[in-house]
Structure 1
Amino acid sequence: MSDYKMPIIEPTIDYTKVPPINQKRTVSFINHFITHTVTFLNKFALCCEERLFEFENKLQKLEASLEILESRLSSIPGLEQEHCKESNNVNKNDTSKLEEVEVRNVDEPDNSEVDSKDEETKVQSAAKDPRYEKYLKMLHVGVPKQAVKLKMEQEGLDTSVLE
């Protein structure tokens, strides 16, 4: 401390008699602090932007590979026939479920019966709808359900059909 010509402050010293710190020195400390803080924040922002850019590139590659996979799946001719057979089986199962729902809904109020019928008809119409055909095919081939839902949401389709 004596090297800097600063007095040692003790509790018994009157602070009014202690000379103030040199203003140039105080300003240089503040400037040093500000420049180092700004440098750190700039490096941090750059690092964050680089990571976001990397993740964006990875996401674009993933989307591109998903598009390639979809095109490969659509090029397989045997899947369409199997899908039609499967959709017929699904329709038969849906109608049997619809009959079960109708039997159960006899004791329930009318509004729930209408809701369940609407859902069942929605599922049946979606199974026949060509827009949903490729998504059902994707599920049949083994594409994860969550990925199919995400793709459906991107194209603005109802994902509750998959349930």
Structure 2
Amino acid sequence: MDEDGLPIVGSGIDLTKVPAIQQKRTVAFLNQFVVHTVQFLNRFSTVCEEKLSALSLRIQQIETTLNILDAKQNNIHEEGLQKTEVVTEDVRTVAKDPRYARYLKMVQVGVPVMAIRNKMISEGLNPDLLETPDAPVPAWGDDGKAEDSSDSESSFSD
């Protein structure tokens, strides 16, 4: 023993007196470990394959549902276009006129109404139509604004 009271391991031990390790027992433990590891991995693989199969089936169902919804959406969009064409042939409202639609959108977004009205006046549009988006759109010249701009253009040609 050394000064700490611990046994000295090393050259002081006669290895010829130490019994041999039982090889059969070591091989049995090793085989048991390998068998249990392989069984665990086989079960794990089976569970993973089942879950992947279920997930694949679910993805196919979702894709089918999306295709159905896409077809319905296209059908609704086409029907909406057909109805819009019928309505636009009868009466064109302020909300559907591209000249006024952008200003109505500005009102919805929160742009100050006075700024929108001033911009509409500068472009020759009637700002009073902002308050009646379902009213029929006046033809050019019916609201009196387009004629004023044509007069001012002709005054420059003199």
TM-score under structure 2 normalisation? Answer: 0.44
TM-score under structure 1 normalisation? Answer: 0.43
